[in-house]
A and B are shown apart, each in its own frame.
Chain A
Amino acid sequence: MLKFFAVIFFGLLPCLASADVSVRDDSGSVVRLARPAQRIITLAPHLVETVFAAGAGSQLVGTVEYSSFPEEVKKVPRVGGYSRLDLEAVVALKPDLVIAWQSGNSPAHVEKLRQLGLPIYISQPNRIEDIASEIERIGVLAGTTKIASSAAKSFLTRLTGLQTRYGGRPTVRTFYQVWHQPLKTIGRTQIISNVIRMCGGENVFGNLDVMAPEVTVEAVLAANPEVIIASGMGEARPEWLDEWKLRTGLIAAQRQNLFFIPPDLIQRHTPRLLDGAEQLCRHLETARTKRPSGAAR
C-alpha cells in the first residue's frame, strides 16, 4: 500500500515541478502555460536573441526572416517575414508558445493566431532595463529560469556599470541618423535615445515624440550636433554618413565625429544592445577628448 502511494507521489512529482507557469507580457495580459514551452516560435529577429539568452534556444522551432544571431538560429525553419507572416507555417510547426513583437507584427495576424488557440506572448521592450525582465520572463515560460535569471542579472550589472561610468560625463549633443533618404532620426521614446542619455549624451531631436521622425538637413544644421552616429542597414559603414563632411559648418564634421555602429548591435532590442551601447559611449567619450581645451562643447 505504501508502495502504491509512493508511486503516485513520485509519479506526480515531475508534474508538480513543471506545473503551470505564468508571466505578464508587455501588453499587460497574463500568459499562462500548463507546462513550460517546448516548441517556441518568435515573430521577430531580435526575439530570437532574447530566447537564446534565456537559455531556451534548443526549444526554438521557428522564426522569421533576417534572424541571424546566434549562428545556430540559421538552421531554424522560417515562417515568413515579421511583417508578412505565413500563418499556415506557424500553425504547422505546432508551437506551444508564440512570441510576438507588438510594434512590428500586424495586430490582425497576432489576433488570428490567438483565435487559433496558440498561447501568445507580446513583447515591446521600450527601455533598456526591459530587456533584462524580458529574458527573465521568457525563462519562466520556457522553464529555464536558472540560466535566464543569471543572464538578466549580468545584463543589469553591465548596464549599471555603463551608467555609472558615463552617465555623469559632460553632455554631448548627438544626432542619430537612421537613414539618409528620407533623412530619418529617432525620437524621445526610441530605445536608442535611452542609450544616448545613458552615455551622457543628448539626442538633438529628443523633444520629438515620434519614434522615427523624418527631418530636414537644415534642421540638423540648425541643431548643430557635436556627434553624428549612423548604423545604416548592413555591416559596413554607410557611404552617406561621410556626406556630412561637406557641411563644414557642423561641429561634428569639423571634429570628424562621424561614427558608425553596426545596426544589429544598436537597433535590435536584445542583450547585444549593451555592446552597441558600449561603442556609443566610447564614441561620445572620443568626442569629449576632441574638444578644444576650455570650451564647453
Chain B
Amino acid sequence: MQTRSRALLILATLTIMAIGSLTLALMLGNIHVSPKELVSVLFGNGNDLAREVVLKLRLPRALAGLGCGGLLAVSGALLQVLLRNPLADPYVLGISGGASVGALLVMLFGVAGGIGVSSAAFLGAFCTMFIVFGLAHGDGSWTQARLLLTGVIVAAGCGAAVALMLSIAPDHKLHGMLFWLMGDLSQSGNPTLILGALVLVVLIALPFARELNLLARGSDIAQSLGVAIKRLRFAIYVLASLATASAVTQAGSIGFVGLIVPHLVRLAIGNDQRVLLPASALAGGSLLVVADTLARTVIAPQQLPVGVLTALIGVPVFLFLLARDSQTGK
C-alpha cells in the first residue's frame, strides 16, 4: 500500500512538472507574455499578437515536444528492458535511420505520388522495423545479442545511405535535409496525433509492466516464472518501434531524451516498470519542452538545435544522480 501511495506521489509531482514546463514554454519567447496575459489568452481574450504567438506558435510546438519527448523516453525504457542493455535508446535498432532514409529520399528525388516527407519517414521506419525483426528472428532463436547486433548493423547501413544522399544532394536541397536530420519541433504540425500516440503507447505498455519487471531480471527467470517470453518480446519490440517512429516522423531524430530519461527516472524512483513507464513519459515530455523553450530563448532571436539543450540539461542531472547513488552504496 505504501508503494502505491509513493507511486501516486511521484506521478503527481511529475504531472505538475509537465504542466509547469508547458506554462514556461507558453510564457517565454521574443514576445513577452505575463502570467496574467497568458490566462486571458487561454480564455480567448488578450491582444492579437499575444494570441497568435501563444496559440498558433508556442502551444502546438510545446504539445508536440511533450508528445515526442514522452514517446522517446517510453520507447527507450522499453528497449532497455528488452535488450537488457543500459546503452539501448530508441535509435539503436535503426528505426530513426530508416525514417531518415525515407524522408531524405523524398526530399532529394520527390515522389510523383505526392507522398509527404512525414509519411515517407514513417514508411522508412516501418520497413526497418520489419527488416530488423525478420533478420533477427531468423531460425527462431531470438537472442538479445542477435537483435541488438542486427539493429546496429541496419542502423549503420541507413547511416551510410544518409551520408550518400547528403553528398550527392544539390546545395539548395541540403539545407532542408540537414535540418530534418538534426530534429526540430518548429516543423511539427498538429500535436493531437502525437499526444494520442503517447497515451496509447503508455496504456498498451502498462498491462505488461509486471512481466517486464520479470524480464528485466533475465529471460530465464522470467520464463521459469511463467512469462510467455517470445510473445512479450515481440509486443515490446513493435510497441517501442512504433513509438519511436511516431516521434521521429513528427520532429526528426531528437537525440538523447530516449537514452537518458529512463535512466534518470530509474535512478530517482527505482526500476519498477509500473511506475517507470508513465513516469518516463512525463519526465521525457517535460525535459523536451524545457529544452526546446531554452533552445529558442537562450540566444534569441537566434535558435539553437534542441538536441544540444537536451544533452546540456540531461548530462549534469544524470551525473549528479549517478554520483549520489554510488555514495549511498546502492
Residue of A nearest to B305 (CB): A214
**A66 to B171, alpha carbons, bound, how many Å?**
10
Interchain CB contact under 8 A, A216 and B296: yes
Within the assembled complex, what's the spacing in Å between the Cα atoms of A213 and B304? 10
- Bound together, the chains give a CA A205 to CA B52 distance in angstroms of 21
Query: Does chain A have a CB within 8 A of B143?
Result: no
Contact with A along B168-184 (1 / 0, CB 8 A): 00011001100100001
Given contacts A66-B171, A215-B302, A221-B52, contact A181 B179 (CB under 8 A): yes
In Å, the complex CA distance between A262 and B280 comes to: 49
* Contact of A221 (CB < 8 Å), options: B31, B179, B187: B31
Does B49 lie within 8 Å of A221, measured CB to CB? yes
- A182 in contact with B301 (CB, 8 Å): no
Are A216 and B52 interface neighbours, CB within 8 A? no
Within A245-291, the residues touching B (CB, 8 Å) are 247-249
Q: Is A236 an interface residue (CB 8 A)?
A: no
B179 and chain A: residue at smallest CB distance? A182
Question: Is A234 positioned at the interface, with any CB of B under 8 Å from its CB?
Answer: yes
**Cβ contact within 8 Å between A222 and B184:** no
Chain B, Cβ-Cβ closest to A220: B301
A217 to B303, CA, bound (A): 10
Given A66-B171, A181-B176, A233-B172, A215-B53 contact (CB < 8 Å): no
Interfacial residues of chain B within 32-87, with CB under 8 A of chain A in the complex = 48-49, 52-53, 57-58
Residue A93 interfacial (CB < 8 Å):
no
Q: Number of residue pairs across A and B with beta carbons under 8 Å?
A: 68
Question: B29 on the interface (CB 8 Å rule)?
Answer: yes
- Which A residues from 166 to 185 make CB contacts under 8 A with B? 179, 181-184
B57 touches A217 (CB 8 A): yes
Q: What residues of chain A lie closer than 8 Å to B48, measured between beta carbons?
A: 248-249
Tell me the nearest residue of chain B to A246, going by C-beta.
B56
Residues in B1-42 with C-beta less than 8 Å from chain A = 29-31
Residue of B31, B167, B176, B184 near A218 (CB, 8 A) is: B31
- Please, how many angstroms separate the alpha-carbon atoms of A260 and B146 in the complex? 55
What chain A residues lie within 8 Å of B31 (beta carbons)?
218, 221-222
Q: Are A218 and B58 touching (Cβ within 8 A)?
A: yes
Q: Within the complex, what minimum Cβ distance (angstroms) separates A232 from chain B?
A: 8
Is B186 interfacial (CB 8 A cutoff)?
yes
| Contacts A181-B187, A182-B184, A205-B301; A218 near B30 (Cβ below 8 A) | yes
For the complex, count residues of B whose C-beta is within 8 A of A: 23
With a CB–CB cut-off of 8 A, which chain A residues contact B184? 182
Interface flag for B268 (CB, 8 Å): no
B300 CB-CB contact with A under 8 Å: yes
Given contacts A182-B179, A221-B49, A247-B52, contact A213 B172 (CB under 8 A): no
Task: Please encode chain A, from 209 to 231, with 1 for each CB lying within 8 Å of some chain B CB and 0 for all others.
Answer: 01001111111011100000000
Report if A208 contacts B (CB, 8 A).
yes
Q: How many residues of A contact B (CB 8 A)?
A: 27
Residue on A with the closest CB to B303? Answer: A214
Docked Cα-Cα span, A247 to B48, in Å, equals 10
**Residues of chain A with a CB closer than 8 A to B179's CB:** 181-182
Return the chain B residue nearest A182 by Cβ. B179
User: Contact between B52 and A208 (Cβ–Cβ < 8 Å)?
Assistant: no
Q: Which residues of B contact A184 (CB under 8 A)?
A: 175
Nearest B-chain residue to A66, judged by Cβ:
B171
Chain B residue, CB-CB nearest to A82: B171
Q: In the bound complex, do residue A218 and residue B296 qualify as a contact, i.e. CB atoms below 8 Å apart?
A: yes
Query: How far is it, in angstroms, between the C-alpha of A215 and the C-alpha of B295 when the chains are bound?
Result: 11
For A234, the closest partner residue in chain B by CB is: B172
Closest to A214 in B: B303
- Chain A residues whose CB sits within 8 angstroms of the CB of B296 once the complex forms: 216, 218
Q: Is the CB of B175 within 8 A of A218?
A: no
Q: Which residues of B contact A216 (CB under 8 A)?
A: 29-30, 57, 186, 296, 300-301, 303
A248–B47 Cα gap in the complex (Å)?
13
On chain A, the residues within 8 Å of B175 by CB distance are 179, 181-182, 184
User: Which residues of the other chain, B, contact A223 by a CB distance below 8 angstroms?
Assistant: 301
The interface centre, meaning the residue of A66, A205, A249 with most chain B CB atoms within 10 A of its CB, is A249
Q: Do A249 and B52 touch across chains, with their CB atoms under 8 A apart?
A: yes
Q: Which residues of A contact B57 (CB under 8 A)?
A: 216-218, 221
How far is it, in angstroms, between the C-alpha of A182 and the C-alpha of B179 when the chains are bound?
6
Shortest A133–chain B CB gap in Å is: 27
Give Cα distance in the complex from A47 to B310, angstroms: 42
Write the B225-243 contact mask toward A (1 if CB under 8 angstroms, else 0).
0000000000000000000
List chain A residues, Cβ under 8 A from B171: 66, 81, 83, 233
User: How far does the alpha carbon of A183 sit from the alpha carbon of B53 in the complex, in Å?
Assistant: 16
Question: Shortest Cβ distance from A45 into chain B, in angstroms?
Answer: 10
A219 touches B52 (CB 8 A): no
Q: B62 to chain A: closest CB distance in Å?
A: 12
Distance from A136 Cβ to chain B, minimum over Cβ atoms (Å): 29
| Chain B residue nearest to A204 in the complex (CB) | B301
Which B residues touch A234, using CB under 8 A? Answer: 172
Some 20 contacts from A to B, beta carbons below 8 A apart, are A66-B171, A179-B175, A181-B186, A181-B187, A182-B186, A182-B303, A183-B186, A215-B303, A216-B57, A216-B300, A216-B301, A216-B303, A217-B57, A218-B31, A218-B53, A222-B30, A222-B301, A233-B171, A249-B49, A249-B52
Given contacts A214-B303, A223-B301, 7 further A-B contacts (CB under 8 A): A182-B184, A183-B303, A214-B302, A218-B53, A218-B296, A222-B301, A249-B48
Q: Sorted from nearest, which 10 A-B pairs have the closest CB atoms? A: A219-B301, A233-B172, A222-B30, A219-B30, A215-B301, A213-B302, A222-B31, A218-B30, A182-B179, A214-B303
Interface residues of A (CB under 8 A from B): 66, 81, 83-84, 179, 181-184, 205, 208, 210, 213-219, 221-223, 233-234, 247-249
